Structure 1
């Protein structure tokens, strides 16, 4: 993040007088910023100039508010969004090695995670399963859905205080191991395998075994070839990170989103458990750092905690949301109708 310890003490009153602002929920997440100047409401070039001048001030507010939403600004399309985030560094690997399919739309803009509309995306910190992850995530709404479809956000500092002590202490002591398994390229007879296990050539955007191993190394993962030709990507993490601005230690483990359990998988659990039995690498799973299973009863309480923390801000066309990826998790509500929400990952 481009802010530093000195600027981290900024408050919303440090924003310029050509905008108004107020916190969205009782805990201040996120800070809503709206134009008080006609030019900012009508002229995309004025908005781009304003953001280039003030983005550091907005970033410095993130440790306090967790996220900032620009609403009512003239950000009419993808190109305007891309022009605003040109000031940021992005991952040189693109989204290679990412958890879900996500294509590049233009410049530094990617589509949101390609997950079916009827499914909820659990609150998580972006790319926490890799050693290199975004410090911030920028969202842009080109088209809101008919119903639902909010980018759910949640305060990870409040979450950490409510994590059961047995899980928190165990992760502190043992860390976590992320293991993702991808099938060999080619047709498969089982539709579940085709649906839930992507080909490693697709995930890593490579063609050969040698290129796959190099791509794993590039994103900080160990490549393990299984006897069926599938590739397991492994990464061990402490489960915590220190915030780059405040130095505070924050929970950064995707236990709730990657653990194989009944509460997360719901009606799909029995089917997936049969297709991907224990003892073999599953498409996505998280273990303790020493390879031991994380007991399901440690994980189940997390989902109620996350639901209580969830903030769902309905999108409007042109919304631009900047989130602190350490302090603020994000997810997605199920939705109906078409929805076009785009993402920029800031490293």
Structure 2
């Protein structure tokens, strides 16, 4: 997606500097304070931690008392370093990632996302955070109400030779295990005549935060919509797959989103967005319901690691 409004200048994210001595013990002692700040601001940025690989991120997660979370469905291939540590989603550095919430297309999703900066990007590359408690106030009332009352629908197709396989996406080896997973996750499957798996699920567009009770925009209706693909790439995929695109979204009743709808949603994200510049060793701790995460274009060879946390 293109960036449509200037970056907001105020910094809403709480930040702390970790001490040079015993930083993980300090992190453990600060866990309650960090959680309180995260619930208030949506995210906390810790500077000065020895974040140098998967083990250090796992150590930080454990110091904070955050349990690991294993997704039931993968968006695309991520490197799995074990112990609940992953790479970010696979996305070209020269493309913006619009803010999204991890696994918001699933019934089960992480409550917290920890992002460790091992090597920062060159130049002015930033992560973008958008406070989902404020999204509705920047949307046309009719659009917010439609998503609030009707939710949204996501369709996903698994074509041979394109993208990840259904075995990789759902971490299952056979059809029996896949059918059982669909029963528990509320996904409706259809096997097309050519053997392609086509799936549809309906999800709420807003949810109430389990701790604060605040209403939060919680969906990927814009991020995963075919209308936000590069036009040339969209035409190629439409020619190849017809209506069974690898990924697409709709309103809850199955109606398509207009270009005006997509523009309005992106404007709402941009209107509440703040930028987070990166330093080596930074740890960003975000509430996955309150805060949607994306990023600008990145230069150089940045390296980040992700830990998904549950209750």
TM-score by length of 1: 0.80
Mapped contact 2:53–2:305 kept (Cα < 8 A): no
- 239-248 or 145-154, larger mean C-alpha shift: 145-154
Partner Cα distance (1:56, 1:227) in 2: 54
Q: Could you tell me which residue of structure 2 aligns to residue 342 of structure 1?
A: 305
Q: How does 1:165-176 map to 2 (within 5 A)?
A: 165-176=141-152
C-alpha root-mean-square deviation of aligned residues, in Å?
2.1
Q: Could you tell me which residue of structure 2 aligns to residue 15 of structure 1?
A: none
Change (3 A) 1:168 1:264: farther
Q: Which has the higher helix share?
A: 1
Partner Cα distance (1:33, 1:248) in 2: 25
- Kindly indicate whether structure 1 or structure 2 has the higher relative contact order, using CA contacts under 8 Å at least 6 residues apart: 2
Q: Could you tell me which residue of structure 1 aligns to residue 14 of structure 2?
A: 31
Partner Cα distance (1:254, 1:274) in 2: 24
Mapped contact 1:132–1:220 kept (Cα < 8 A): no
Partner Cα distance (2:292, 2:231) in 1: 22
SS in 1 for 2:95: coil
2:285 matches 1:319: no
Which has more radius of gyration? Answer: 1
Partner Cα distance (1:345, 1:224) in 2: 30
Q: Could you tell me which residue of structure 1 aligns to residue 235 of structure 2?
A: 270
Q: Could you tell me which residue of structure 1 aligns to residue 53 of structure 2?
A: 77
Mapped contact 1:183–1:200 kept (Cα < 8 A): no
Q: Could you tell me which residue of structure 1 aligns to residue 3 of structure 2?
A: none
Partner Cα distance (1:168, 1:318) in 2: 38
Mapped contact 1:138–1:343 kept (Cα < 8 A): yes
Please report how far the alpha carbon of residue 96 of structure 1 lies from its aligned counterpart in structure 2 after TM superposition.
4.4
Change (3 A) 1:27 1:150: closer
Change (3 A) 1:118 1:26: closer
Mapped contact 1:79–1:106 kept (Cα < 8 A): no
> Which of 118, 122, 137 is residue 161 of structure 1 equivalent to?
137
2:200 matches 1:234: yes
Partner Cα distance (2:141, 2:198) in 1: 31
Q: Deviations over 1:164-215 (max 9, x none)?
A: 222112122322112211124xxx4xxxxx2xx4221221233322222234
Mapped contact 1:95–1:102 kept (Cα < 8 A): no
Q: Deviations over 1:197-235 (max 9, x none)?
A: 422122123332222223434544333322221222332
May I ask how many residue pairs the two structures share in their alignment? Answer: 301
Please report how far the alpha carbon of residue 82 of structure 1 lies from its aligned counterpart in structure 2 after TM superposition.
0.9
Mapped contact 2:71–2:103 kept (Cα < 8 A): no
Change (3 A) 1:220 1:111: farther
2:101 matches 1:125: yes
Q: How does 1:124-203 map to 2 (within 5 A)?
A: 124-184=100-160, 188=161, 194=162, 197-203=163-169
Please report how far the alpha carbon of residue 331 of structure 1 lies from its aligned counterpart in structure 2 after TM superposition.
0.8
Q: Could you tell me which residue of structure 1 aligns to residue 293 of structure 2?
A: 330
Change (3 A) 1:177 1:139: same
Partner Cα distance (2:305, 2:120) in 1: 11
> Which of 74, 90, 99 is residue 68 of structure 2 equivalent to?
90
Mapped contact 1:82–1:106 kept (Cα < 8 A): no
Please report how far the alpha carbon of residue 340 of structure 1 lies from its aligned counterpart in structure 2 after TM superposition.
0.9
Partner Cα distance (2:72, 2:215) in 1: 28
